[in-house]
Amino acid sequence: MLDVRRLRLLRELAHRGTIAAVADALAFTASAVSQQLSALEREAGLPLLERTGRRVVLTPAGRTLVRHAEAVLEQLERADAELAHARHGLAGPLRIGTFPSAARIMIPTALTALAERHPGLEPMLSEIDPAGVADAIRAGELDVALIHEYDFVTARPEPGLAAAPLCTEDMYLASSASHAPSTDISDEAAAPSAVAVSIGAWCAAPWITSTPGTMCHEMTIRACQAAGFSPYVRHRVDYFGAVLALVASGQGVALVPELGLTDPLPSGVVLTRVPMSRRTKIAFRSGADGHPAVAAITEALRSAVPESLMR
């Protein structure tokens, strides 16, 4: 009989690539992970891994077993959801991941609503970039998390993860008088190439982006490339409040989603609507969509979405 805990380790190895990464993610030692995977190979009766020095790759049998492991783990999530429905009341920790602009605007309202409806739940919030959500949810570090994607950067399918839509935001180019557009953009909003033309009007300006490796950084780079230029990046800052302050001081221009805007805006910031959007979703483990705790936080989050984003 194959051990489910060992199947989970094999699945993590398929996604993370190294035994050391699996050990770090799941609070094991590397030797313990190796021992458990060796035991799984004995259970399976054939090699699942090929070891070449420090490198480990899955054999065809290993990849086949990972596909079955995904299905098994999803079914276990469904079983856990059914058992949760049989219990009286929701209780215990609920680990939630979020990105900063959602944490500022939506999360406090959502957690207040959650506490009123399900006082036994203990929400535990962690800030995380959407790029790291898949690993964190698969490893059990998070139960649900907010992720987002942009028109130029769509989220790739992640085995073991499912997601439900939450809201859609407009996108704005934030600039100041010291970085006015180099061309007239007054009539460009109706043009078919409005994204490229509008953003391209600031091709000569210095840019402020998020840090490399984040979806927000990739979005800015790809949007500029679609407009026909590679941006000169002067500053790399993740917090949109700080980005807007830098724009106001003449340090550059930036693309900012609606949730990232502050009220009031820093004096001197000019916003130009660009025909792009950011879409936010609620991610959770495949099979957990029927879990009452996941349903509860989903309902609370949807009740906290600003009216302007309900589309």
**Domains along the chain with CATH numbers:** 4-84 (1.10.10.10), 91-311 (3.40.190.290)
**Start-end of H helices in 139-265:** 194-200, 215-226, 240-248
Q: Are strands 144-150 and 270-285 parallel, antiparallel or unpaired?
A: antiparallel
pLDDT at 5 exceeding the cut of 50: yes
What three-state secondary structure class fits 161?
Answer: strand
User: Higher pLDDT residue, 22 or 88?
Assistant: 22
Q: Which of 167, 162, 166 has the alpha carbon at shortest distance from 290? A: 162
Neighbours of 205 (CB within 10 A): 21
pLDDT at 297 exceeding the cut of 50: yes
8 A C-beta contact, residue 264 and residue 82: no
Average pLDDT, the chain: 88
**pTM attached to this predicted model:** 0.81
What three-state secondary structure class fits 120?
Answer: coil
Tell me the C-alpha distance between 146 and 166, whole Å: 9
Tell me the C-alpha distance between 260 and 243, whole Å: 9
Tens of pLDDT, residue by residue over 228-281, are 999 999 999 999 999 999 999 999 999 999 999 988 999 999 999 998 999 999
Tens of pLDDT, residue by residue over 132-168, are 899 899 988 999 999 999 988 877 788 889 999 999 9
Beta strands in the chain (DSSP E): 49-52, 55-58, 92-98, 121-127, 144-150, 161-175, 206-209, 232-236, 254-257, 270-285
Tens of pLDDT, residue by residue over 266-279, are 999 999 999 899 99
Widest pairwise Cα distance in the chain? 70
Q: Which of 125, 111, 272 has the alpha carbon at shortest distance from 184? A: 272
- Distance of alpha carbon 307 from its chain centroid, rounded? 22
Give the pLDDT band of residue 192 (cuts 50, 70, 90): very low
Confidence (pLDDT) at 190: 42
What three-state secondary structure class fits 125?
Answer: strand
* Mean pLDDT calculated for residue range 48-64: 84
Residues 6 or more apart from 212 whose CB is under 8 A from it?
236
8 A C-beta contact, residue 241 and residue 223: no
Total count of residues recorded for the chain? 311
CA atoms within 13 A on the CB side of 216: 25
CA 129, 134, 138 angle in degrees (round to 5)? 135
Tell me the C-alpha distance between 307 and 305, whole Å: 6
Confidence (pLDDT) at 101: 92
8 A C-beta contact, residue 192 and residue 239: no
* Mean pLDDT calculated for residue range 171-186: 78
